[in-house]
Amino acid sequence: MLEISRVEKAYEGRNVVDDLSLAIKKGTVFGFLGPNGAGKTTTIKMIVGLSRPDAGTIRLEGRTPQDPAMRAMIGFMPEAPYFYEYLTGLEFLKFCDSLFPEIDRKPDAVYTKTLAEVGILNAANRLIRTYSKGMRQRLGFAQAVIHDPDYIFLDEPLDGLDPIGRRELKEIIKTLKSRGKTIFFNSHILFDTEELCDEIGIIHQGRLLYSGPIGHFTKGKSLEERFVETVKAASPAKA
Amino acid sequence: MKNILVIAQNTLKETIRDRILYGIMAFAVVFLMFTVFLGSISLGEDLAVIRNLGLAGIYFFGMVVTIFLGASLMYKEFEKRTLYFILSKPVRHRDVIWGKFLGLVSSVTLTTILMAVVYLAVVAAKGGGVDAVVLEAIALQIAEMGLFVALTIFFSTIAAPLASTLYAILVLYIGHSLSLLTSAVKTKPVIVQKIVLVIYYLFPNLEKFNIRNSVIYGIRIPWPELFLSLAYAIVYIILLLLAATAIFKEREL
Ligand SMILES: Nc1ncnc2c1ncn2[C@@H]1O[C@H](COP(=O)(O)OP(=O)(O)O)[C@@H](O)[C@H]1O
Ligand SMILES: [Mg+2]
């Protein structure tokens, strides 16, 4: 269970996340949707412990993100990730995995299996410097799931991927869901994220406009149509 | 502890895969060879010249590598947001700071040992031997480099690489002039002396790590003095890294 309660975060005196509360049950795939600059990345950074809320609390199975034991339970894929360019993809994946408290070392086969799943096994021993944007995105995903966490946080996971890449990654997310993983992902693109989510949250200008089952929100219309309606209704009228 | 070592190992990889390091090392080796030529035109003072210039060269190139790599170490992590990968895992801020420190110290120690080997080979080729004091000089240089790794890590948690480099050079300059400075102000007004006293205690006294003159004359440094200098470096490093960790924790990523 992830519980976000009355969280606020301000940058330069402006609340970019305002009084945000969410409760996400274990095993849910939650899509956190909103236009650019809505506060999605700011929120996910607070959840994974990269920044602290100015007010409010975040608890994952009762632990705060500042507790390393909480962060041992999660995987996080940053938005448009940068990497250590001097490492190979395989080295990077091992480096990430070795930051978790595990006693026995895994055989290389575990890493190559994950690299194969995200479709970059053929580049495993190449320097990340030579990777394309899509390959970086796939590697970013791989490091978020390498230690088999129960909770997975993805910031714009489908960004920068071609249609085939998007399909492949969505299939992996569905597989993870079927294995009981809780997945929280940010997206500003709606048209092909709908099929993934059990629940959605809509955020606009730092405020939550809706959260709950996706069906309750769309009421028969397309997600995109309802989204635009909702966001427009919440924006101050433009002169 | 494990995380510190994992990050240290990655930092070592980062620095030894940096082409700039090899550029500077190539310069250093060429310079050490060149001391032979300078020795040969100095009329019978070959070894003294080689020893003198050689150690100065190792020091100079060692400090260049240290400051150059150190000034961008943390900055790159902030800039490239690679910290997002690290700090969202069960890693503490102090693990990152100490890991970076140990990693860079290992790589500058390795490069210094490499230069020292070339230096000793050149000295041996000219009929000189290995004095214990040479090894002491190298050990103290490594202590000073460790201090500068900590210093540049500290600076680069708050400043851009160019600024960190300039601050480091400033500390290097002042740190080697402290004794000169205190004796120069003896006749000056009390207020000036007080200011210099503050500077004296704030800045590291880097002359403690400079025994290159003793090498020329083959004078051993007594053990207690050697240990005191090393302890001084260690205390200074710990304070700097504690401060760097405190700043790092508060920084918005
Ligand atoms: N470190 C920061 N300093 C100042 N403003 C920031 C910072 N991070 C984000 N913002 C601002 O906060 C708002 C929300 O940003 P973000 O959470 O990245 O949005 P999203 O991920 O939904 O596109 C934006 O207006 C952005 O400019
Ligand atoms: Mg974002």
Ligand 2 centre and the CA of A193: distance in Å? 16
Instruction: Specify the DSSP class assigned to residue A63.
Output: B
Closest ligand to the CA of A37: 1
- A37, A65, A142, B146, B157 from A49: Cα distances, Å: 20, 5, 20, 31, 19
**Among partner residues B6, B84, B92, which is closest to A50 by beta-carbon distance?**
B84
Instruction: For residue B113, give Cα distances in angstroms to A171, B5, B100.
Output: 52, 21, 20
For B90, which of A11, A91, A100 is closest by C-beta distance? A100
Q: What residues does A10 pair with on adjacent strands? A: A15
DSSP chain B: -HHHHHHHHHHHHHHHT-HHHHHHHHHHHHHHHHHHHHHHTSSS-HHHHHHHHHHHHHHHHHHHHHHHHHHHHHHHHHHTTTHHHHHTSS--HHHHHHHHHHHHHHHHHHHHHHHHHHHHHHHHHTT----HHHHHHHHHHHHHHHHHHHHHHHHHTTS-HHHHHHHHHHHHHHHHHHHHHHHHTTTS-HHHHHHHHHHHHHS--GGGG--HHHHHHTPPPPHHHHHHHHHHHHHHHHHHHHHHHHHHHH---
Please tell me the predicted confidence (pLDDT) of residue A239.
Answer: 44
CA pseudo-torsion sign A89, A95, A100, A103: positive
Q: How confident is the model at residue B95 (pLDDT cuts 50, 70, 90)?
A: very high
Tokens matching residue A181: 């993983």
Q: What is the ipTM of this complex?
A: 0.93
User: What are φ and ψ of residue B242, in 5° steps?
Assistant: -65, -45
Q: Is A83 on the interface with B (CB under 8 A)?
A: yes
H or E element at residue A6: strand A2-11
What contacts A120, CB < 8 A, 6 or more positions away? A89, A131, A135, A138, A139, A142
Which residues, including other chains, have CB under 8 Å from residue A116's CB and lie 6 or more apart? none
pLDDT at A223: 85
User: Between residues 138 and 157 of chain A, which touch chain B (CB distance below 8 Å)?
Assistant: 143
Greater confidence (A195 vs A48) lies with A48
Say how far apart CA A226 and CA A237 lie, in whole Å: 18
Per-chain mean pLDDT for chain A: 92
Q: Are B6 and A98 within 8 A, CB to CB?
A: yes
**Cα–Cα dist A190/A179, whole Å:** 24
Does B41 or B58 have the greater pLDDT score? B58
Say yes or no to pLDDT of B3 above 90: yes
Q: Whose CA is nearest to atom 13 of ligand 1?
A: A37
Smallest CA-to-CA distance from B29 within B116, B129, B136, B146 is with B116
Q: Return d(Cα A185, Cα A177) in angstroms, integer.
A: 13
Residue A90 pLDDT > 60 = yes
Cα radius of gyration (chain A): 18
Q: Do A178 and A209 meet the contact criterion of CB atoms below 8 Å apart?
A: no
Question: Is pLDDT above 90 for B171?
Answer: yes
User: CB-CB: which of A50, A98, A101 is closest to B88?
Assistant: A50
Q: Please tell me what DSSP assigns to residue A44.
A: H
What count of residues does chain B have? 253
**Which chain A residues are Cβ-neighbours of B83 within 8 angstroms?**
50
B18-34 average pLDDT score: 89
Q: Check residue B44 and give its pLDDT.
A: 72
Contacts of residue A185, defined as CB under 8 A and 6 or more positions apart, other chains included, come to A29, A30, A31, A32, A153, A154, A155, A156, A157, A173, A193, A196
- CA B207, CA B178: separation in Å to the nearest integer? 8
- Tell me how far apart the alpha carbons of residues A101 and A116 are, in angstroms, rounded to a whole number: 24
Q: Count CB-CB contacts under 10 A for residue B39.
A: 23
Look up residue A96 and give its amino acid: C
Q: For residues A43 and A217, what is the distance between their CA atoms, to the nearest angstrom? A: 21
**For range B127-141, the mean pLDDT:** 87
- pTM of the predicted model, to two decimals? 0.93
CA–CA dist A11, A45 (Å, integer): 14
Q: pLDDT at position A75, please?
A: 97
Interface A-B, measured as beta-carbon pairs within 8 A, has a size of: 67
- Work out the percent of chain A whose per-residue pLDDT is above 90: 78
Residue to substitute in A9, A16, A79, A184 for testing ligand 1 pocket (most ligand atoms within 8 angstroms of CB): A16
Give CA–CA dist A32/A184, Å, rounded. 7
Residue A238 reports pLDDT greater than 70: no
- Contact at 8 Å (CB) between B102 and B20? no
- Which residue from A153, A149, A152, A158 is spatially nearest to A118, judged by alpha carbons? A158
Render pLDDT for B190-249 as a digit per residue (tens, 0 to 9): 888 888 888 888 888 888 898 888 877 778 888 898 999 999 999 999 999 999 999 999
Between CA A34 and CA A223 the distance in angstroms is 12
Residue with tokens 């249609």, as numbered in its chain? A163
pLDDT for A185-215, tens place per residue?
Answer: 999 988 778 888 999 999 999 999 999 998 8
**pLDDT at residue A76 above 70?**
yes
Q: Which two tokens stand for residue A59?
A: 């608890």
A14 and chain B: CB distance < 8 Å anywhere? no
The pair of three-digit structure tokens given for residue B36, joined into one six-digit string: 């032979």
Q: Can you give the pLDDT at residue A237?
A: 60
Is B82 a residue whose pLDDT tops 70?
yes
Q: How many residues does chain A have?
A: 239
